[in-house]
Amino acid sequence: MLSLSSNRQLDLSANNLNGPLTASTLPGLRSLESLELNRNLIKSIQNKALQNFSGLTSLSLRHNQIDVLQDHAFYGLGTLENLDLSFNGIVAISSASLQHLTRLTTLDLTHNFLRALTSDLITPLPSLQVLRLAGNDISIVAKNALDGARELKSLSMQDNPLSCDCTIRSFAEWLQVTKILAADLISPTCVTPPRLEGAPLIQIGIAHVSTPVTNPDLVCRLLLEK
């Protein structure tokens, strides 16, 4: 059902909207603050699709079929604070697709198909405080992926197949010093190697090697598996 209240809240959930979301899909309402497009059949968000909704602070697209966020998909949404893209089919996100969300504080990407956490997700979002990534396919956390997460207070990553080898060392070290919620610290758990399956990453000791080694990566991996 269409629900419109004083031109500030618009709910178009479960209206069989399908195909790509483009600038011509919906009439622009610049006074709108909250837009809900949940449980539709939207398959992608195209370049500048929501540029005529420049007053939005909250946008929800839960339970659609989105697998592609085009570059500049959120152009014009400089006031957006909350973005919910959970329960879609997103595999990867480029920094250009999130580039304009400088005031975003909460991003929900639970239950998508993301395979890696990289700086492309964090760098464009300097105000980000809450990042929800539970229920994805994340096995890799790139080195320095979270260096730009200066305001982050909550990071949920349960139910991801983390590969706890040497490549995840910088993330493990970040968990040791971050100030995110204590409950979130134990949410990243290992799936591989088998001897670490189910272990919270933060509880795995990572020793620092003080003597030169011929293969540092191998030593790091062995220490993680210890």
pLDDT at 222 over 90: no
What mean pLDDT is reported for the chain?
Answer: 89
Residue type (1 letter), 154 = S
> What pTM did the predictor assign?
0.90
Residue type (1 letter), 43 = K
pLDDT tens-digit readout, 91-106: 999 999 999 999 999 9
Mean pLDDT of 203-226: 53
- Separation CA 167–CA 146 (nearest Å): 14
Residue whose tokens read 């539709």: 40
Residue 38 has a pLDDT of 98
Mean pLDDT of 202-224: 54
pLDDT tens-digit readout, 151-170: 999 999 999 999 998 889 99
Residue 204 has a pLDDT of 84
Residue 214 has a pLDDT of 53
pLDDT tens-digit readout, 18-63: 999 999 999 888 889 999 999 999 999 999 999 999 999 999 999 9
Q: Which pLDDT band, with edges at 50, 70 and 90, does 88 fall under? A: very high
Residue whose tokens read 């809240």: 9
Could you tell me the two tokens for 60? 């929800």
Residue % of the chain over a pLDDT of 70: 87
Say if residues 45 and 69 touch (Cβ distance below 8 Å).
yes
Residue % of the chain over a pLDDT of 90: 79
Residues 6+ apart with CB under 8 A from 207: 223, 226
pLDDT at 209 over 70: no
